Structure 1
Amino acid sequence: MFNKLFNNNNGNDDIESQLSKENIPKHIAIIMDGNGRWANKRFLPRIAGHKEGMNTVKKITTSASKLGVEVLTLYAFSTENWKRPDEEVQFLMKLPVDFFETFMPDLMKENVRVHVMGYHDVLPKHTQKVITDAMDKTKNNTGLVLNFALNYGGRAEIVSATQAAMRELLAQELTPDDLTEELIAKHLMTHTFPDPDLLIRTSGEMRVSNFMLWQIAYSEFYFVEKHWPDFSHQDLCEAIATYQNRTRRFGGILK
């Protein structure tokens, strides 16, 4: 059973200094929820919330990098988001262009490497080009990996990985009985990254929404009521502090 953990800010601005530098999550995944509700609350169009959410991506990427996080995966657009109004989808497809045009100098300065996972072949050509260019420009950077999940769905990824694993077995004249977790994991879009240690979802919702279903099997979950545009460096530190106060057993018991 998942426990709902709300962000209670007690005015402690020094929480970062209390974090254990030896226990920073290597991989943090975030479901960036609440852009539309943030805008509606201010009587603004939904796209204004997405634009402000993009600015939060910049801030949290910088914060995660400075804290020593190795991989930051952000759920930017799901395979289900195509159901949204056309105007909103078109705006979301243009956001990567605006993001990388304005933030690329900072990404290079922070030594951040961009990675984008998902089903890119159906994305607009201008979106495909900008994400390809961003990955190419940052490919030699050795710091934080900023991994965007764009046109991504967890169930579809598991199906694709299983299909690829089965093709590998057939090529070796093996049978379905030879299929293993390790072989499926080898074909996941995150196969070069560790699984997320910490999954954060903003805006108060308590579900994973088809996000990294395989990879979050033993992730720690953190749910916060704030909408994504309001999520701050302080909030990230509080999420990490909560993570550090938990005991991870991975199905085992304490000795």
Structure 2
Amino acid sequence: MVLFNYITNKVTHYELSPGTNDNIVQGNYFNPLVGYPLYSIFNYPSAKLDNLGNPRGYLNGQVSEDYTSILNSTNPSNLAYNGSATPLYFGSIINNFSYRQFSLSVGIGYKLDYYFRRTSLNYTSLFGGNFNQADFTKRWQNPGDENHTYVPSMIYPADPTRDEFYTYSNSLVDRADNIRLQDLKFSYSLNRQSIRNLPFKTLQFYVYANNLAILWRANHEGLDPDSPYASPATKSVSFGLNASF
């Protein structure tokens, strides 16, 4: 059995001004901009790090390190639109196999055409005592590193606007498309045809497993796009039996 869904939406009218571009990119995926999906991901376009490892963006078409002006700009054309933060295509494929008294059901789920923002190094947070910092080893450390890393150099004291720009830059946006082995059920059934003195009409033993694995993901960081800021959904296995009289 194949289940296929497609959903799309677009904001056609909104009375309030979105304010600064920083309000838009930080909108917790709720960005009511006319002409775009309600749940969208926008980013600050970024250029290559400079020769000191500072991130660089664009302000009115020019490369800039004026992070305060970039964040406080009220011109949405200084932003780039990635796409929807919710999947446009989603569904599942359920396969059922049977052989004599054995049955196997396999559920594969898919979500396609959407984006997520991953976490990375934030020096303001680091110096504040949060040592759980992704990408610390990938940071710019020596001249020439700007040719193979997008993670800014460490400066002290930290510049919150610099960190803010990097956090919401295009460097940290990935496609969230994924295909999962969602669940699996294996069962063995007995009835009075197989066991004449069986006290039940049917008796089924089964094992059920859920949230088993991601079979494919579009991002190359090995992240679960549905829980990029927390632990992935817990795998579970249960055993049971069904009896009918």
Shorter-chain TM-score: what band?
under 0.3
Given the two structures, how large is their TM-score scaled by the length of structure 1? 0.20
Higher strand share goes to which structure? 2
Larger radius of gyration: 2
